[in-house]
Amino acid sequence: MAFVIPAIGAVASYASTATGAATLSLVSTAAAGAVNYYGQRQQGKAAKAGAKYNAKLLEGQAAADRSTSLENMTRLRRHNGRALGEIRSQLGASGIVGSEGSALDTLEESEELLELRILDQAKAAENRGRGFANKRRATLFGGELAQSVANSRARGTVMSTASSIGRGYYDFKKQGVFT
């Protein structure tokens, strides 16, 4: 602590001169540019990390949806089997022979309609799965893009800071502050 106070005093004393003030101005411009650059790079990394996390959540949602869809199709298939069994039972109880004529046509049509419901559910699940995959890809791309934009801004900050320092130095030199 004993060293810090004289050092602060020396900086304050140096800054009170024109050369010191000019130097301090240029150094603070460089420091502000460096902090801004670092912040923009971190912002880009955070955007990419957030996109990866969101993509992982979408993968989980897709897996849960697939599982639920498979379970629902299995239930529907069992339900369809019971429904067809009831139709056969009713046809048999009423004395209609189930191996010929309109009774067989009705039974076949019922089986086809019930199976079509299962296939429709499978197609809908497949479409939802593609939707999740597309959202995941778009999310990851958005994260990459956000990081790229942040990195471009950071490079722009470096160029702007360098330009400010160069212009400041030129102005100070022109004023005779720096020889």
Is the pLDDT at 4 greater than 90? The verdict is no
Q: What is the pLDDT of residue 28?
A: 93
Is position 2 within any domain? no
C-alpha span between 138 and 126 (Å, rounded):
18
**To the nearest whole number, what is the mean pLDDT of the chain?**
88
Lowest-pLDDT choice from 1-15, 118-132, 140-154: 1-15
Q: Find the domain containing 103 and state its range.
A: 15-174
- Number of independent structural domains in the chain: 1
Is position 26 within any domain? yes
CA angle 144, 146, 152 (to 5 degrees): 100
Is position 160 within any domain? yes
pLDDT band at 97 (very low <50, low <70, confident <90, very high): low
Is position 77 within any domain? yes
Is the pLDDT at 112 greater than 70? The verdict is yes
